[in-house]
Amino acid sequence: MATGVEALLRCVFEGCIAFSDADIERRPYHRNCGCALHGKLCSGKVLKEAYGLLHGCRVARGASSVTNLLFANDCYLFFNAMDNKTDCILHVLHQYAQASRQSINMRKSTFMFSANVNVAIRNSLANKLSVSQVESQDHYLGLPSFIGKNKKMVFSFIRDKIGRWLQGWNKKILSQAGKEILLKTVAQAIPAYVMSVYFIPLNLCDALEKMMNSFWWGSKSNDNGGINWMQWSPLCVRRDCGGLGFRRLRDFNLAMLGQQGWRFLPVSNSLTSRVFKAHYFPYGSFLMQILGITLASFDEAFLLRKTY
């Protein structure tokens, strides 16, 4: 006799009511139906959680337990590094393969452990799942996954990318109007995506602005040749006030992060809001939180925006 949780999940995730094996064969899941397939995988995990067999990971005491996250075409599964938890994951993946007629490609899957997991346990669990181990994932969806102490080196790919564009433009004969369009639409748009998530170091912002200023005044962006007849700050003033309307990268970074921070207020029940609240302001609100001195780059960004 199926429990109420099983019956509800079947109605939501299975997508059809089959009475025989032949009926199942006539109604296979579509190959591109990612929502239904992911729902089937989540339904199995929800059942395991309801029975107390799986426990997700928590970033802090009182935080929401996270068992799976879906990004683009990838699915992240979080569980304790134990043999019985690994067996539950294998059982869920087997159920998913039977329901969707698709098997998980273990060669493309990876296993990441926290730093406090013993090496012997890592090798044992990785062999059981037949997946390879990785220490960390450098970039995912165009963003660095882990931020260390040397933030300038982590975000150096932004400077390299903008430098390649400026070096290519220097080989062309461009008017001041053409340079203005390229700087505003291309060069200053490159770090926008990263700045909406991370707090870029100030010295990197200064280096990028110096490169753009050298390109604007006609000097080479990769050496010290040429003369910059004016600093970058006056060029960032609005046009009606005598400037050219270029962006100050630090101010733009804070503005982009402010949009993310303000989402905590109207959508306080989202997963991100609950995780940040449990970790940084469990007894207060986002607006009342005071900036600490040991925050990570990803988390520091949201709280720093409130001081401006």
Query: pLDDT digits over 217-240, tens only?
Result: 885 544 555 677 788 888 888 888
Same domain flag for 169 and 261: no
Which of 104, 128, 143 is the last residue in one of the domains? 104
Query: Could you tell me if residue 187 is inside a domain?
Result: yes
pLDDT interval class at 289 (50, 70, 90): low
Same domain flag for 195 and 222: yes
Same domain flag for 183 and 221: yes
Query: pLDDT digits over 82-137, tens only?
Result: 888 888 888 888 887 888 788 888 888 888 888 788 888 888 888 888 888 877 76
Same domain flag for 287 and 270: yes
The end-to-end CA distance of the chain, in Å, is 59
The pLDDT, as a whole number, for residue 159 is 92
Query: Could you tell me if residue 91 is inside a domain?
Result: yes
Name residue 70's amino acid.
Answer: L
As a whole number of angstroms, the distance between CA 241 and CA 254 comes to 23
Sequence-separated (6 or more) residues with CB below 8 Å from residue 77: 45, 67, 68, 89
The pLDDT, as a whole number, for residue 161 is 92
As a whole number of angstroms, the distance between CA 133 and CA 168 comes to 40
Q: Between these two residues, 75 and 73, which has the higher pLDDT value?
A: 75
pLDDT interval class at 9 (50, 70, 90): very low
Which of 70, 104, 138 is the last residue in one of the domains? 104
Same domain flag for 177 and 198: yes
Query: Could you tell me if residue 223 is inside a domain?
Result: yes
Same domain flag for 246 and 293: no
Q: Between these two residues, 139 and 241, which has the higher pLDDT value?
A: 241
Same domain flag for 196 and 235: yes
Query: Could you tell me if residue 109 is inside a domain?
Result: no
Ranking 138-147, 182-191, 241-250 by mean pLDDT, the lowest is: 138-147
Distances 305 to 46, 152, 257 between C-alpha atoms, Å:
37, 20, 7
Query: Could you tell me if residue 144 is inside a domain?
Result: no
Same domain flag for 14 and 55: yes
The pLDDT, as a whole number, for residue 49 is 53
The pLDDT, as a whole number, for residue 303 is 52
Query: Could you tell me if residue 214 is inside a domain?
Result: yes
Residue 14 has pLDDT above 50, yes or no: no
Query: Could you tell me if residue 140 is inside a domain?
Result: no
- Domain coverage including residue 47: 4-104
What percent of the chain lies above the pLDDT cut of 90? 11
As a whole number of angstroms, the distance between CA 223 and CA 65 comes to 51
As a whole number of angstroms, the distance between CA 171 and CA 173 comes to 7
Residue 267 has pLDDT above 50, yes or no: yes
Same domain flag for 234 and 176: yes
Same domain flag for 168 and 226: yes
| Chain mean pLDDT for the chain | 74
The pLDDT, as a whole number, for residue 165 is 92
Same domain flag for 231 and 292: no
Same domain flag for 239 and 265: no
The pLDDT, as a whole number, for residue 98 is 83
CB 41 within 8 Å of CB 92: yes
Beta bridge partners of 143: 140
User: Quick one: average pLDDT of 266-273?
Assistant: 80
The pLDDT, as a whole number, for residue 160 is 92
pTM of the predicted model as reported, rounded to 2 decimal places:
0.66
Sequence-separated (6 or more) residues with CB below 8 Å from residue 17: none
Number of domains in the chain: 3
Name residue 138's amino acid.
Answer: D
What percent of the chain lies above the pLDDT cut of 70? 73
Running DSSP on this structure, what letter comes out for residue 29?
P
Query: Could you tell me if residue 74 is inside a domain?
Result: yes
As a whole number of angstroms, the distance between CA 96 and CA 46 comes to 13
Q: Between these two residues, 294 and 286, which has the higher pLDDT value?
A: 286
